[in-house]
Structure 1
Amino acid sequence: MNLSKRVSHIKPAPTLQISAKINELKAKGVDLVGFGAGEPDFDTPDFVKEACIRALKDGKTKYTPSAGILELREALSEKLQRENSVQYSPSEIVVTAGAKMALYLIFMTVLEEGDEVLLPSPYWVTYPEQIMLCGGIPVVVPLKEEKGFVLSVDDIKPHVSKRTKMLVLNSPCNPTGAVVPEEELRKVVEFCIENNILIISDECYEAFLYDGKRFVSPASFSKEAREITFTVNAFSKTYSMTGWRVGYVAAPAKYAKVMADINSQTISNATSFAQYGALEALKNPKAKEFVKEMKWTFERRRNLAYQLLLEIPNISLVKPEGAFYIFPNLSAYLGKLGSDIKLVEYLIEKGRAACVPGSAFGAEGYVRLSYCVSEDTIREGIRRIKQALEELS
C-alpha cells in the first residue's frame, strides 16, 4: 500500500507517547513518577459535569451547527470582549474538537503548497506536523535560553522571505513557560501588519501567568491586528477539561465561514453535550474561583520545582513565567548517552521518573517537566532525577 506524500513525515505526538508509556508501566506495578502529561491534575468542576448531564437528559444529543451552538459562541464573544479586549461576533467564532482541531482548520484554510510558517523554537510538538500536513513549510526561529526563550521582533526578521505566510505565537509557551512582554508583542504584531504576515495566537495558557503578569491578546492592539490574527483557545487547560475536546478559533468572517465549512465536511461539529458543559464553564460564577485556585496552586508548584532543579549540578534553567511546564537544560549529561531521547529513557529505567525530551520541541538537550502533579510528587520525582544524573556522571 502506498501512503500519500503528505503523511510520510507524520509522527505520533511524543507527549502522548510518554503518557502512554507511564500508564503502561504503572499498570505493570512499576513505581514511576510521571512529569509527561500536559493536563491539570484537577478534576473538571462538578457544575460543568452537571450541565453536561442535564444536556444529555434533555436530549441535546443531535447534530449542532458546524460552527457550534449559538449560545456558546455568544458567550465566547462576550468573554473575548470582556477578558481580552477584542471584539468578535458569534459568526466569527468556530467551536472545534479541541484547540488542535482549531489549529488544523486554520492551516487548512490559509496555507498553499510551499507557504512558509514562522515557528519560534522551542515549540509545541503539534505545530510543525500540522503545518506540513497542510502543505506548508515550518521555518524555525531559534530562541535563546539566555534571553529566557522570549521572542523578539529581531528574532523574526532574518527568517522572513517572499513565501512567509504566517507566524505562530504561543505565549505563555509550551514547553518553556516564556511570556512575551506586551511592548515586544506589540512590535511583533506591527511588523506582521507591515509585512502582510498572518498570526496564529495560541492562547491556551492565558489563565496561567505568574508574578503578577497580565495576559494580552495580539488581536487587541488595533483593528489591523485583529484582521490578521486567528485567536485560538480551548477549555482543556483553563477549566481542566482536556478529555472533553472543546476548543475554538475567532477570526475575521471570511476565514471563520471557511473553517466552519471544513468542520461540516470532516467532524460535522464538536460533541453536542460537551458544548453545553463548556457553556456552563463560561457562565457559572464559581468558575472564577476554580481557575484562581488552579493558578495559585501551579505558581506554588512552579516555585518548588524551580528551586529543587537548581540543586542539580551542571544544569541551567529559566524560571517559567506562565503555563505549567519547566524546561531544564540537561545537555551536560548527554555525553555517555548521545541524545536527550536516550537520556529520557535512562531516567525512566534508572530513576523511575518520566519527562519529555526537548528534541520533540525542537530543543535537543533539554527535557520538559509538567508540574501538574502534587508537591510531594514533585519533590520525589526531582529527587529521583537528581540521583539518576549523579550516578550517570
Structure 2
Amino acid sequence: MNHIAKRATEMPPFIVMDVLERAQAMEREGIHVIHLEVGEPDFNTPQCIRDRAIQAFEQGHTHYTHSLGSLDLREAICAYYDQTYKVQIHPDQILITSGTSPAMFLLFSALLEPGEEVIVSDPHYACYPNFIRFLQGQPVFVPVHEEDGFQYQPDEIQKKISSRTKAIFINSPSNPTGNLLSEKRMRAIADFSPFIIS
C-alpha cells in the first residue's frame, strides 16, 4: 500500500538541489566549485541584520506573531510602498512568508480549483509549475526568447487564454533569465481578464 499521494509521486524532481548537493560534496573533497545552481548570495548575512536578529532574541521576540506576520513589519512594508511607489496598502493586505516559494504555494492553494490554468513563461523557475500541478491546476507555457530580451509577448499570452485560465504569472525580474518586463508589456498584460500574479 502506497501511503504517499499519487500527485506527490508524479512531481518531477527539483534537479537543482541534486546539483547543489553534488557540488557541496565536491567542495568537501577540496575541489573548487563555482556555483551556478541556486540563487544564493556569495556573501554572509550582513552584520546589521545579524545584530538585529540577536537583539530580537534577547528581547524575547521568539513567540507566535499575528497569522499574517509581524504587524510592525507589515506596517513598514506599507510605508515603503507608499514612499517608493505612491501606493497605499493596508497591513491586512500583506502576508509575511518565509520566502517566495511558500508564498506562491499558498497563493496557488487559495486561488486554483482542479483543472484551472495558470499561464507561465518558458523558461521559468522549475518549482512554480510543480506547485500548480500539485494543486491539480495546469500550467500553460508561453515561450519567451533571448532575441526579445526574454519578454512576454502579450499577443502570445492572449492566444493561450481559455475559459479555464485563472491567472497569468509574471515573474519580473525573472528567474532564471533575469529580465525585467517592460512597463508597456506589463500594462498590456494587465488588461487581460485573469488574475495577474506578480
Question: What TM-score, normalized to structure 1?
Answer: 0.48
SS in 2 for 1:94: coil
What displacement does 1:42 show?
2.5
Match of 2:116 in 1: 115
In 1, the alpha carbon distance for the partners of 2:122 and 2:85 equals 25
- 1:145 corresponds to 2:146: yes
1:170 match: secondary structure = coil
Give SS of 2:96's match: strand
Give the aligned length.
Answer: 197
Partner in structure 2 of residue 47 of structure 1: 48
Matched position secondary structure for 1:80: helix
Tell me what 1:127 maps to: 128
Cα separation, 1, equivalents of 2:33 and 2:23: 7
CA–CA distance in structure 2, aligned partners of residues 60 and 101 of structure 1: 23
- The corresponding residue for 2:175 is 174
* 1:144 Cα deviation from its structure 2 partner: 2.2
Shift of residue 33 of structure 1? 2.7
Q: Distance in 2 between matches of 1:10 and 1:80?
A: 37
Structure 1 residue 9: deviation in Å?
2.1
Tell me: CA distance 1:86–1:5, structure 2 relative to 1, closer, same or farther (3 Å). farther
CA–CA distance in structure 1, aligned partners of residues 27 and 43 of structure 2:
20
> Which SS does the other structure have where 1:18 is aligned?
helix
Matched, 1:97 2:94: no
Structure 2 CA distance for aligned equivalents of residues 185 and 136 of structure 1: 24
Partner Cα distance (1:18, 1:7) in 2: 21
Aligned-pair identity (%): 36
The equivalent of 2:195 in structure 1 is 198
**Residues 129-183 of structure 1, C-alpha deviations (whole Å, 9 max, x = no match):** 1011111100011112222211121120111110000011011111111221111
Distance (Å, rounded) in 1 between the aligned partners of 2:87 and 2:95:
16
Partner secondary structure for residue 112 of structure 1:
coil
The answer for unaligned runs of 5 or more in structure 2 is none
CA-CA distance at 1:5 after TM superposition:
2.4
Deviations along 1:324-359, one digit per CA (max 9) or x if unpaired, are: xxxxxxxxxxxxxxxxxxxxxxxxxxxxxxxxxxxx
In 2, are the aligned partners of 1:152 and 1:185 still within 8 Å (CA)?
Answer: no
Q: More helix by proportion, 1 or 2?
A: 1
CA distance in 2 between partners of 1:84 and 1:131 (Å):
30
Structure 1 residues 86 and 16 mapped into 2: Cα distance closer, same or farther (>3 Å)? farther
Residue in 1 that maps onto 2:30: 29
SS at match of 1:124: coil
Shift of residue 31, structure 1, vs aligned partner:
3.2
Deviation per CA, 1:177-231: give whole Å up to 9, x if none: 12211111111111x2xx2x01110xxxxxxxxxxxxxxxxxxxxxxxxxxxxxx
1:259-270 alignment runs, 5 A limit: none
Structure 1: which 5+ runs fail to align? 202-393
In the alignment, is the contact (CA less than 8 A) between 1:143 and 1:155 conserved in 2?
A: no
Report how far residue 16 of structure 1 moved.
Answer: 2.3
SS at match of 1:34: coil
Which structure exhibits the higher relative contact order, with contacts defined as CA atoms closer than 8 Å and separated by 6 or more residues? 1
- Rounded Cα–Cα distance in structure 2 between residues aligned with 1:165 and 1:23: 40
How far did 1:92 drift? 0.7
What is the deviation of 1:17? Answer: 2.2
Contact 1:19 1:36 in 2 (8 A): yes
Q: How does 1:1-393 map to 2 (within 5 A)?
A: 1-2=1-2, 3-190=4-191, 192=192, 195=193, 197-201=194-198
Distance change in 2, residues 1:127/1:85 (3 Å): farther
Post-superposition offset of 1:63? 1.2
Moved more, 66-75 or 82-91: 82-91
Q: Could you tell me how far 1:53 is from its partner in structure 2? A: 0.4
> CA 1:31/1:44 → structure 2, altered by over 3 Å: closer, same or farther?
closer
> In the aligned structure 2, how far is the partner of 1:80 from the partner of 1:171?
17
